[in-house]
Homo-oligomer: A and B are copies of this chain.
Amino acid sequence: MNEALSGLELRSTVTSEGQLRLELIEATIEPPGPDEIVVKVEASPLNPSDLALLLGPADIETLEAGGTEERPTLTAAIPTWGMGGMKPRLDQPMPVGNEGAGTVVQTGDDVADLLGKRVGMIGGGMYAQYRKIKARDAIVLPEGASGADGASMFVNPLTALGFVETMRSEGHTAIVHLAAASNLGQMLNRICLEDGIPLVNIVRSEAQAKLLREQGAKIVLDSSQPDYEARLSAAIEETSATIAFDPISGGRQASLILSAMERAASKTLTAHSRYGSSVFKQVYIYGALDPSPTILDRWVGFSWSLGGWLLNNFLQKAGLETAARLRQRVIDELKTTFASHYTATISLAYALKPEIVRAYQRKATGEKYLIDPSL
């Protein structure tokens, strides 16, 4: 017979007075229903998408610690411009943490076989010592996989695979990827190498370029180099890439890429067309590492599109069969293609320390934090 459990959970609140408030609350986890399990969470990553919910548009300069060592709180001011989009969540303590992994400690009657198994989960509220969840939202990890191995088996792997699926279904044959040294970018590189898809990796430093080259990346461009634009054009011409994925959003990168694609396409034109080539060029923005304006200032003709890309929207469009196929590939290659690397593993209480928040909030490429609520 299962008994109610008690455990800490992180909550993020945006108050109507314009304050962000993070805290750890003691929650009671009632016994699971017939199709549910209770998981002792061992690992949950701090993805950029989690940070958006966790911190909102709070001004990081105003972070202020409160509470006790074990039950800390953290507050920050939210600038007026940021409050517009906050209406739907005002004064509601939101659970945070999109995905995670841990060990099943209680099971409902219909899913008793999961007891003691280590699972990966998706569904929010993972920054918690215990997470009760429908069994269908958890996947049993392969033998020998740790919580850390399974913590990031949904968002990044399915996003990287989603890029490749999108490329294929929309008729492209090669990919350009920005901020390509991220965990996601490293995965995409491994997938493309495995599947023989030409990939133009764009990074912002020599260190990041080196990291990708050491992982076998064939084309890596450093956008901080003076010859970047020429090398970008050459790489796009060589690969015939006509689709790009951009987590940065702000600035002129999408514009540069579209115009390099247009130049490459124009070289195949036999006659001058004042409307540009008819080759369709696509850039998808899937993040906002730089929230400044996206600026299109180059001539790209009329056969192009710049749009948003979101995993949930992609999965919905792709359908259940495709989603199941992609998930199976993630399980099969969990410790190879889809391995994640973490800069640091921290406790729930640590995740509320101002200096730690500043560290993970920078979203530096190649850096990624993991929360272990059992610490």
Q: Chain B's nearest CB lies how many Å from the CB of A46?
A: 14
Task: Confirm or deny: A163 has a beta carbon within 8 angstroms of a beta carbon on chain B.
Answer: no
Among A255, A300, A309, A312, residue most surrounded by chain B Cβ atoms (within 10 Å): A312
The complex places the Cα of A114 from the Cα of B229 at a distance, in Å, of 55
Question: Do the beta carbons of A275 and B305 come within 8 Å of each other?
Answer: no
* Segment at the B interface, from A23-31, A165-173, A266-274: A266-274
Question: Do the beta carbons of B307 and A313 come within 8 Å of each other?
Answer: no
Question: Do the beta carbons of B304 and A88 come within 8 Å of each other?
Answer: no
Question: Which of B274, B278, B312 lies in contact with A53, CB distance below 8 A?
Answer: B274
User: Nearest residue in B to A308 (C-beta to C-beta)?
Assistant: B302
Question: Do the beta carbons of B49 and A274 come within 8 Å of each other?
Answer: yes
Q: Chain B's nearest CB lies how many Å from the CB of A272?
A: 3
Task: Confirm or deny: A318 has a beta carbon within 8 angstroms of a beta carbon on chain B.
Answer: no
A residues 262-286 in Cβ contact with B at 8 Å? 266, 269, 271-275, 278, 285-286
Question: Do the beta carbons of A308 and B300 come within 8 Å of each other?
Answer: yes
Q: A316 — which chain B residues lie within 8 A by C-beta?
A: 278
Question: Do the beta carbons of A301 and B308 come within 8 Å of each other?
Answer: yes
Q: A52 — which chain B residues lie within 8 A by C-beta?
A: 274
Q: Chain B's nearest CB lies how many Å from the CB of A104?
A: 28
The complex places the Cα of A17 from the Cα of B49 at a distance, in Å, of 53
Q: How many residues of A contact B (CB 8 A)?
A: 40
Question: Do the beta carbons of B307 and A304 come within 8 Å of each other?
Answer: yes
Question: Which of B88, B271, B273, B310 lies in contact with A302, CB distance below 8 A?
Answer: B310
Question: Do the beta carbons of B305 and A297 come within 8 Å of each other?
Answer: no
With A88-B271, A295-B293, A308-B300 in contact, is A278–B49 under 8 Å at CB?
A: no
Question: Do the beta carbons of A307 and B307 come within 8 Å of each other?
Answer: yes
Question: Do the beta carbons of A266 and B88 come within 8 Å of each other?
Answer: yes
Task: Confirm or deny: A345 has a beta carbon within 8 angstroms of a beta carbon on chain B.
Answer: no
Q: Chain B's nearest CB lies how many Å from the CB of A60?
A: 17
Q: A305 — which chain B residues lie within 8 A by C-beta?
A: 305-308
Question: Do the beta carbons of B306 and A306 come within 8 Å of each other?
Answer: yes
Question: Do the beta carbons of B307 and A306 come within 8 Å of each other?
Answer: yes
With A295-B294, A296-B293, A296-B294 in contact, is A275–B312 under 8 Å at CB?
A: yes
Task: Confirm or deny: A215 has a beta carbon within 8 angstroms of a beta carbon on chain B.
Answer: no
With A272-B88, A296-B294 in contact, is A286–B313 under 8 Å at CB?
A: no
Q: A53 — which chain B residues lie within 8 A by C-beta?
A: 274
Among A255, A297, A300, residue most surrounded by chain B Cβ atoms (within 10 Å): A297
Task: Confirm or deny: A342 has a beta carbon within 8 angstroms of a beta carbon on chain B.
Answer: no
Q: Chain B's nearest CB lies how many Å from the CB of A330?
A: 21
Q: List 20 A-B contacts (CB under 8 A).
A: A85-B299, A92-B272, A255-B293, A275-B310, A285-B302, A293-B295, A293-B296, A293-B297, A295-B296, A296-B306, A301-B310, A302-B308, A302-B309, A303-B308, A303-B313, A304-B308, A305-B305, A305-B307, A305-B308, A306-B306
With contacts A89-B272, A296-B296, A303-B313 known, what are 15 further pairs, Cβ within 8 A? Answer: A49-B274, A49-B275, A88-B266, A255-B293, A278-B316, A285-B302, A286-B302, A294-B297, A295-B295, A296-B306, A301-B308, A303-B310, A305-B306, A306-B307, A307-B307
